[in-house]
Chains A and B, each alone.
Chain A
Amino acid sequence: MDRLDIPDAEWNRVSPKYVWPELIGYLVTGLIVAGATVPLWLIGQWWTYAITAVVVVVTVVVAALTPRRVRAIGYQLREDDLLLRKGILYLRVVAVPYGRMQLIDINRGPVVRALGLSDLKFVTAAAASAVTIPGVPADEAERLRDRLVELAESRRAGL
């Protein structure tokens, strides 16, 4: 086995439309950072332009990889826990037992809402295991949350 992956996992993908909020986020950040380097041009040295160029190139590369990164996000409702995978270069997999979920948030930012999506966030007693499934279609997010709350209720455990 070459790549680290969970055997026989059937990942649910997030909506492909989730590329847009990600893309807009990166482009806006890139623009702001690039804009912040512009006043350096007044110094008149060649490397001040190089800094701006580097920022632009990095932003473009990150933006270009966004579709792949969004495709890499996957979640799966297993029998006893929720499995979530993220990242291509930096792979993270988290398994959260249903009984450990303390609360479930549905967050909707402006772009996400315009696309009819929602972000689901799970909180456990451990700060490190805060888990987010972004870009779930709004009605499915509601359904998913209800289902997860139900599962958490049936497997309730203490701290």
Chain B
Amino acid sequence: MSDPRTGADGGGGRPAPPDVAALTDGEWHRLHPATPLLKGGIALAAVLVILFNNAREYVVELFVPGGRRGDEGDPFGYVVDKGWLGLLLLAVVVVIALFVGGFWLSWRMHTFRVGEDVVEVRSGIVFRTNRRARLDRIQGINIQRPLLARVFGAAKLEVTQAGQDANVTLAYLRSASADDLRREILRRAGGAQQTHASAPSAPGAPVDARGAGTGDATDPAAVAGTSTPGRIGAPAPHRQGFGGLVEQRAHEFLAPELDPDEAPPRSVVALSPGRLIGSTVLSGYTLFLLAAVVAIVISVVTTGEWFLLFVLLPAVLGSGGFYVNRITKSLRYTIAGTRDGVRIGYGLFSTSNETLPPGRIHSIKVSQPLLWRPFGWWDVKINRASRSSTKGAAGQENTTILPVGDEDDVRRVLELVLPELVGVAAVGVAAEEARAGSSASADVPEAVASAAVPVADGSATGEAAPPALGGEAIDDETSATGEAAPPAVRDAVEATTEHTLSLVEGGLRSSGTDGGFTVSPRRAAVLRWFSWRRNGFRSAPGALLLRKGAIWRQLVIVPLPRVQSVGLVQGPLRRRLRLATVHLHTVQGPIVAEIGALDQDDALGFFTTAGREAVAAAHADRTHRWSEETP
């Protein structure tokens, strides 16, 4: 190790800012000193459990004479009788020392550094590994805090990259510095340090104001100032000693899962526990469970044989654990928009949260299981290029970003995860409010007019109507046009409103050509019995939308810059029907973006435009450096 600065990531009582400054200064650093304990804790516990298991009878005998039955099957007693107890204890101590030594050595040899555009990790005792990850290729950064690690105030940071087993894992770091390190890595990955001029436009103005002034992000003071805007005011880190430490831990445990400084509250989508429980109970697993119970009852009643009961009962009994597990893992679920992408966090005891920078989501599927339909619930899944070792909430794949939500939640999540559509969506929201306001004010002129009429009548006798009131009251038509003063603006707003409303509502519930979708022709009913009216596609700015399924409704959204290639397929049966299928190829994941049973001319048109737009969008795409100003 050239220059390992052990002191930097040291004791828990140190305030955070200098730590982070040190962690990102481009030098080699070690992980949290408790790492050997956290990683080796399980092995040590196993040794102790084995020992205790064997010694149990002996220990019992010490207190309850006569409880022990000779030598049979009691290795511990055998050892003691032979007088080898000292030897055994020595062996245990040696084994434990070896373990601890091994983990300690592995911790000594495990170093990392964060440079201007790479994260680099060196590890391994005998077989050395050196892994470098380019920052602009980051697919996401995940911070996990297992229960045990939380007790020690440690966290695991995983930088995910595209591909299998391509992640850089830093386990474990100090809990507070993990958050700050992520923020700093994302800031560098986003290319913000290169945009000196754009400092005022960035949301984190103090960041760039200080960091960009020197233009040198390795300057520790600047980095410290940048990465911990909200932490300086936190009381706990400055308290020294054991009491302070306990207080700090308690503070960390009780702190809300999502740091309020991190995301504007408007952008946060949370999950209510009631809906979470309801959605879990109404899952397909419940159907299976009910079917199993019914099968057991029927088989027992009709045949009088109990064999099915024994086969299926364990599964039925085990399901309680399944439900509890799913629900506790998804509790405190939040999705929020931060400056550096979408942040997804969850977990009650062991927490996990991940930040996905813009442009790292390759396709999105909003779907509705049949049982959720009466409640209007949906879930949202994504395709992503990286494979994280981390399971998502509820033990699902971490490709599920919204386990359950209503239409409003879905719309807000879509606004978060589709940065290409954010501008449009924001206009949509504004337009929506404007429209709500205008519809309210559309009521007002009538009231004003009706109220004004008697006034005008009364004033007509006196001939002393104030000009303003008179002008309003004289002609209803002029007041109406006056109310709609900028008609062009309102039309534009209306159009964008229609547009963004149709994006969600048109995609989720509508059928036919509502929402600008091109749907299958009538003859496709042979292949899409119920859904031929709904089965359709449309292109939106920056994305392609596929709407499918009348019973199991779903909407697949593929951001245009993420389309890898486009395919058009027609088999013999579809040729007879003059139908065809279009595939939008994206990275592998739970979503397959294809739309079948389209009229072949429509399909050909979609194939052509999708290909052309995908090329243009990929060319214009700048999300690999998302904070960088386009020149």
Contact = CB atoms under 8 A, between A and B. Distances in A.
B587 A126 contact: yes
Given A4-B604, A6-B604, A125-B162, A92 B619 contact: no
A126 B565 contact: yes
Given A126-B565, A131-B565, 10 more contacts: A3-B575, A91-B568, A91-B569, A92-B569, A94-B565, A97-B615, A99-B615, A125-B385, A126-B588, A155-B615
A1 B603 CA distance: 13
Interface of A: 1, 3-4, 6-7, 80-81, 89-97, 99-100, 124-129, 131, 155, 157-159
Contact of B567 (A3, A4, A92, A127): A92
Nearest to A99: B618
Interface in B577-594: 580, 583, 585-588, 592
Nearest to B620: A157
B438 interface: no
B611 A95 contact: yes
B167 to A, nearest CB: 15
Contacts of A91: 568-571, 575
Contacts of A155: 615, 619
Contacts of B587: 125-126, 159
Contact of B580 (A4, A81, A97, A99): A4
Contacts of B624: 158
A96 B583 CA distance: 12
A60 B561 CA distance: 46
Contacts of A127: 588
B588 to A, nearest CB: 5
12 contacts: A1-B601, A4-B570, A6-B608, A80-B615, A81-B611, A93-B568, A94-B568, A125-B564, A128-B565, A155-B615, A158-B623, A158-B624
B363 to A, nearest CB: 10
Contacts of A89: 571-572
B585 A128 contact: yes
A132 to B, nearest CB: 13
Interface in B132-184: 137, 162
Interface string B541-582: 000000000000000000001101111111110010000100
Q: State the 4 A-B residue pairs at the shortest beta-carbon distance, nearest first.
A: A129-B565, A126-B564, A126-B585, A129-B585
A157 B359 CA distance: 12
B579 to A, nearest CB: 9
A157 B562 CA distance: 10
Nearest to B571: A90
B614 interface: yes
| Residue with the greatest number of chain B CB neighbours at <10 A, chosen from A81, A89, A95 | A95
Contacts of A100: 564-565, 618
A94 B564 contact: no
A64 B618 CA distance: 43
Nearest to A157: B618
Contact of B607 (A1, A90, A95, A128): A95
A82 to B, nearest CB: 9
A92 B562 contact: no
Interface string B350-392: 0000000001001000000000000000000000010000000
Given A128-B583, A157-B619, A93 B567 contact: yes
B74 interface: no
Contacts of B586: 126
B600 interface: yes
B571 A97 contact: no
Contacts of A157: 561, 618-619, 621
B239 to A, nearest CB: 45
Nearest to B579: A4
B333 to A, nearest CB: 27
Contacts of A96: 564-565
Contacts of B575: 3-4, 91
A97 B560 CA distance: 12
Contacts of B588: 126-128
Contacts of B601: 1
A81 B615 CA distance: 8
A94 B566 contact: yes
B572 A90 contact: yes
Interface in B82-135: none
Interface in B604-628: 604, 607-608, 611-612, 614-615, 618-619, 621, 623-624
Given A126-B587, A129-B585, A95 B564 contact: no
Interface centre among B562, B564, B601, B603 (most CB of A within 10 A): B564
Nearest to B611: A95
Contact of B565 (A1, A3, A90, A124): A124
A97 B568 contact: no
Contact of B568 (A81, A92, A129): A92
A122 to B, nearest CB: 9
Nearest to A5: B604
**Interface hub of B359, B604, B618 (most chain A Cβ within 10 A):** B618
A89 B562 CA distance: 31
Most buried by B among A89, A92, A100, A125: A125
Contacts of A92: 567-569
Contacts of B603: 4
Contacts of B359: 158
A99 B583 CA distance: 19
A94 B610 CA distance: 12
A129 B564 contact: yes
Contacts of A81: 565, 611, 615
A158 B587 CA distance: 12
Contacts of B572: 89-90
Given A95-B611, A126-B586, A128-B585, A4 B619 contact: no
Contacts of B562: 159
- Most chain A beta carbons < 10 A, residue from B570, B600, B615: B615
A80 B614 CA distance: 10
Contact of A94 (B385, B567, B570, B621): B567
A86 to B, nearest CB: 10
A38 B604 CA distance: 47
Interface string B530-545: 0000000000000000
Contacts of A94: 565-568
Contacts of B580: 4
